[in-house]
Each structure stands twice: as C-alpha cells, then as structure tokens.
Structure 1
Amino acid sequence: MIVVAGGEAPVAAALDGLPADAFVVAADSGVDGAHGIGLRVGLAIGDFDSASEGAADRVLAEGGRVERYPAKKDATDLELALDAALARTPSRIVVLGGAGGRFDHWLAVAFLLASPLYEGVAIQARWAEATATVVREPVTLTGHPGDILTLLPVHGPALGVSAEGVEWPLHDEDLAPGTTRGVSNVLTGTAARVGVRAGTVLAIQP
C-alpha cells in the first residue's frame, strides 16, 4: 500500500519496485503529489487546507473516497492517513513525500513511522533525499557500494542489533536511545542485512 504525504512532493523514481495496482491513500496535499506522479488516489484524507483547489473533486471523479477532517484536530493528516491505511490490513506501507523541509516535521514523521501502533506492518518512507526503513524484523536494504547507512534506535533501546554487508558490521549489539553507534556506516556491496532481536531501529539511507 502507498501513502502519499503532504509537504515535499514525491518523485516518480520513488515508485521503483512498487506494484502498479497498489492502493493509494493521500494525506491532504499528498493528493496533488500523487497525481503529479501518475497515481490514482483511492482514499484522500485530511483537512485539505494545503491541497490545490479541485484536488478532492478529482479523487471523487476517479472513483476514490474523500474523508474530511477539521483543521483543528489532535493528529496530523499523515497520521490519519496511516491509520486509514492500517485499517485495510496491508502487509507493507510505503510512504512517499512528507516533511517539506521543516526539521520538526521530519522528526515527527520519523517517530510516527516507527510508532508501536504500526508494529504489525512493514513501513518504509521514501523522500527525494533519503529512504527510511522501520526495522523490527530482519530486512535487506539495497543500494550501491559506498552508500551511507545509519541505524538509530527509536522509542527505547534496540536489543540484539545485527548489520551485515557494511564496513562496520554489528553482531547482536544493544543500542541505547540517543547513541551514535550506528551513525554513518557504509555499504560494502549492493545490499545490507539488518535485524533486531527486540525494539525498533530506523534505518536511514541518505
């Protein structure tokens, strides 16, 4: 499943490897971002204070649904979109776009993606500048030799962290919140294998 966030518009290259028939949920101006890369939105959700005029109408015209929320609410449009996506019980959610250059937004999105609320689904975010993968089960991350890979424990300690295919491997190591132990590792080939025995790691490929 694809969730298109508002803010920074996604690039077409972010669709690489994603199924063409994936259901798309768009948050607010994420509707414009989705349409900009040729995606049909199945569900648009949010207060639509930043979407273009007619964006929601286009979703309806193409057979999708629109859920409107007041501007004054207790959750961001992206959180509402993720909750709506989770209700469809996907095995994987890929978030496109987001942050929009604001550091507080980037942090909020990063912590949201790794929230325990979504621990039953694989989640990855793809921005123009970086990819962030939530690691709770072993995953294989692809790239190029020399690419940077940073591993950050979030929402508590990450226990038994392993990383193979990198210049400085990790073997069943515990990473405490706030540690820089996993910052700026480097891929030695085209793939790295990352796992964690308990807890959550955010694997960032800038």
Structure 2
Amino acid sequence: MPEPESMAVTVVVVAGGDPPTPQEIGRLPANPVVVAADAGLDHALAAGLVPAVAVGDMDSVSPEALAAAEQSGTRIERHPVDKDRTDLELALDLAARLADRIIVIGAGGGRLDHLIGNLAVLSSPQWSGVNIEAWLGHAQAVVAHSSRTLDVDPGTTVSLFALGGPARVTTTGLAWPLKNEVLDPLTSRGVSNRATIPAPQVSVHEGVVLAVIPSGSGGVYCGLEEMC
C-alpha cells in the first residue's frame, strides 16, 4: 500500500558531474536523505549536505572528502573499478530501496557519453516504482513510466522523448497534445512543446518517456507537427 503523501521519502542522489548550483541546493526539500555517487561526495560536502551513504569505486573522490565523510558517520560502499554498472546506477539502486521520490543533482556537464549514459540509466524500467527527476543546471529531466505531473508554469517549453522503444502517450495541458499516440524514439516529434496550463500531465500507457524542461525556456516554440 502506498505511503501517505506526508510520509513520502525523498532521496537526493549527488552525482559526480558538474557541481550542483546554489539555486538547486536551495530548492531541495528540508533534511533529505542523501546518497553520494563517487565524486558526488565532494559536491555534497561542499554544498553542506551530509550523505547517509557514499557508493562507487571511489576512483574520483578526494581523500579529504572520504575522510570527512567517514568522520561524520557516512557509510562507504566500495565497488571494484572494473564493474558493469556506473557509480550513478549503483547509487540509484540503493536510493530506490529507500525512496518514493529521487532527485538527482550533479549529473550534468563533463563528458557527453556520461550524460547520455546518465539519462539512459535514469529512465530504466527497474526504477518504475519511484518518481525520478534530474536537475541538470540548464535543464530538468523528469522520467515518466506511468503518469507524471510536471511542475511548470504556462509558456514553459517541454520536450518529450521516448527511450528504449516506442511509447504510447497522452498529454494534458500542452499546446500540441498527444492522445493515446505512439511517440517513436527515433524522431523529433516531441521536441519543443509548450505548457498551456499550470502543472500539465504526461500519461504513459506503454514504454517510458523523458520530459526535458529547459531553464529559462521561452521565445519560439515548435509544435508536434513542426520542425525547429
């Protein structure tokens, strides 16, 4: 049985990409459970967050951060450097066992292959029972396995991407709606839609969708039948 809303648990996963911005730190819920992925431990401590757990092969974290975390009571879960999963995936696996909602910060920037891999991992069906979103400094990425309400204002740009295969999608409150239609992962059909109401909704009947919300979105928009 789902927990009451007041009892919902949010876990913040701090990844080892670009450091989270002060604005992102200021938006976090009070007293979240924090999980650091490798060098995300440096980012977390620098932002004043004390992780409950730090997980990864620890090949990128600083010795100073490791020592400070151990002194503060953070549990360190070390994994081999030669492994089949990224540090972020290991952190999400741990967080998903604790959380109703996961906010990932520090996952942007750096290598393009890391960013693509991070977005793919976030959208994995293995996390379908948890609401996951990533704050990437320049954008927010929200994963929808079933129904997700997007916390945006009217006029905000919203781009929808099917990941891992076609997705059957219905949207409410977007300028160019989808009505139980198939969104193919190899097209740009879902790029640059626009919210027309507060808190539009994306309902995914089959597959998985990543909703990307650029920061400071505005200006010219493209609909589902247009090309930017």
Q: Give the TM-score, by structure 1 length.
A: 0.92
The aligned residue for residue 222 of structure 2 is none
Q: CA deviation at 1:74?
A: 1.6
The aligned residue for residue 205 of structure 2 is 197
The aligned residue for residue 55 of structure 2 is 45
Is the 2:57–2:81 contact (alpha carbons within 8 Å) kept by the matching residues of 1?
yes
The aligned residue for residue 43 of structure 2 is 33
Q: How does 1:38-187 map to 2 (within 5 A)?
A: 38-88=48-98, 90-159=99-168, 161-187=169-195
d(CA) in 1 for partners of 2:139, 2:72: 31
d(CA) in 2 for partners of 1:144, 1:95: 22
> Which among 189, 196, 221 is matched to residue 188 of structure 1?
196
d(CA) in 2 for partners of 1:33, 1:10: 7
Give the match's secondary structure for 2:91: helix
d(CA) in 2 for partners of 1:24, 1:179: 36
The one-letter code sitting in structure 2 at the alignment partner of 1:183 is: V
For the pair 1:6 / 2:33, whether they are aligned, the reply is: no
Structure 1: runs of 5+ lacking an equivalent:
none
Task: Return the structure number with greater strand share.
Answer: 1
Aligned length: 204
Is the 2:154–2:195 contact (alpha carbons within 8 Å) kept by the matching residues of 1?
yes
The aligned residue for residue 220 of structure 2 is none
Q: CA deviation at 1:16?
A: 5.2
d(CA) in 2 for partners of 1:72, 1:100: 23
Calculate the aligned-residue CA RMSD, in Å.
1.6
Q: For residues 156-183 of structure 1, what are the alpha-carbon distances to aligned partners after superposition, in whole Å with 9 as ceiling and x for unaligned?
A: 1111x12222221222211122121111
d(CA) in 2 for partners of 1:29, 1:101: 13
Is the 1:155–1:200 contact (alpha carbons within 8 Å) kept by the matching residues of 2?
yes
Is the 1:42–1:59 contact (alpha carbons within 8 Å) kept by the matching residues of 2?
no
The aligned residue for residue 223 of structure 2 is none
Q: For residues 82-106 of structure 1, what are the alpha-carbon distances to aligned partners after superposition, in whole Å with 9 as ceiling and x for unaligned?
A: 1121233x11111111132322111
d(CA) in 1 for partners of 2:130, 2:149: 16
The one-letter code sitting in structure 2 at the alignment partner of 1:187 is: A
Percent sequence identity over aligned pairs:
45
Q: 10-19 or 131-140, which moves further after superposition?
A: 10-19
Structure 2: runs of 5+ lacking an equivalent:
1-10, 215-228
Q: For residues 80-133 of structure 1, what are the alpha-carbon distances to aligned partners after superposition, in whole Å with 9 as ceiling and x for unaligned?
A: 111121233x11111111132322111111110111111121111111111111
Q: CA deviation at 1:17?
A: 5.1
What stretches of structure 1 move > 3 A for 4+ residues in a row?
A: 15-18
d(CA) in 2 for partners of 1:55, 1:170: 47
The aligned residue for residue 5 of structure 2 is none
1:16–1:190: structure 2 CA closer, same or farther, 3 Å change rule? farther
